[in-house]
C-alpha cells in the first residue's frame, strides 16, 4: 500500500510540475508578444498561463487539505521541487506582468503615461 501511495504522490508531483512549467512557458510567450507590440496576444497568453497555474494550484490544495486532515504527505526531493516550481511560476508571472506594463508605456499604450 505504501508503494501505491508513493506512486500517487509521484503522479501528483509530476502534474504540478507540468502545470507550473506550462504556466511559465505561457508567461514567457506573453512577454515575447508584448515585446513585439502584440498586447492583446500577450494578455491571452497570460490568461492561458493563469489557467494552467490554477489547475496546478487545485492539485496543490488537495495535498495541503490532505495534510490538514491528518494524513501526512511525505516530503522528499520531488515535492520540494514542486514547491519551488510553483513559487517560481508565481514570481515569474508577477515579473512578466510588470515588464508588459513597461512595454506598454514605451509603446504609448498606457493611458496618462508618456513614452
Specify binding-site residues for Mg(2+). 84
Per DSSP, the residues of 42-62 read: HHHHHHHHHHHHHHHHHHHHH
Kindly state the cell numbers that stand for 113.
503615461
Max CA pair span of the chain: 63
81 catalytic, yes or no?
yes
Which phi and psi (to 5°) does residue 16 adopt? -65, -40
Instruction: Tell me the binding residues.
Output: 84
| Options 18, 28, 59, 81, the catalytic residue | 81
CA–CA separation, 67 vs 96, rounded Å? 32
Question: In terms of Cα–Cα distance, which of 38, 48, 51 is closest to 100?
Answer: 38
Q: Which residues are catalytic?
A: 81
Amino acid at each position: 500500500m505504501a508503494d501505491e501511495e508513493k506512486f500517487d504522490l509521484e503522479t501528483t508531483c509530476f502534474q504540478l510540475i507540468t502545470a507550473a512549467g506550462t504556466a511559465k512557458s505561457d508567461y514567457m510567450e506573453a512577454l515575447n508578444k508584448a515585446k513585439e507590440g502584440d498586447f492583446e496576444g500577450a494578455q491571452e497568453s497570460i490568461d492561458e498561463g493563469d489557467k494552467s497555474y490554477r489547475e496546478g494550484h487545485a492539485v496543490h490544495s488537495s495535498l495541503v487539505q490532505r495534510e490538514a486532515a491528518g494524513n501526512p504527505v511525505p516530503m522528499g526531493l520531488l515535492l520540494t521541487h514542486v514547491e519551488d516550481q510553483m513559487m517560481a511560476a508565481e514570481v515569474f508571472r508577477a515579473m512578466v506582468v510588470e515588464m508588459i506594463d513597461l512595454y506598454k508605456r514605451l509603446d504609448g499604450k498606457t493611458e496618462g503615461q508618456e513614452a
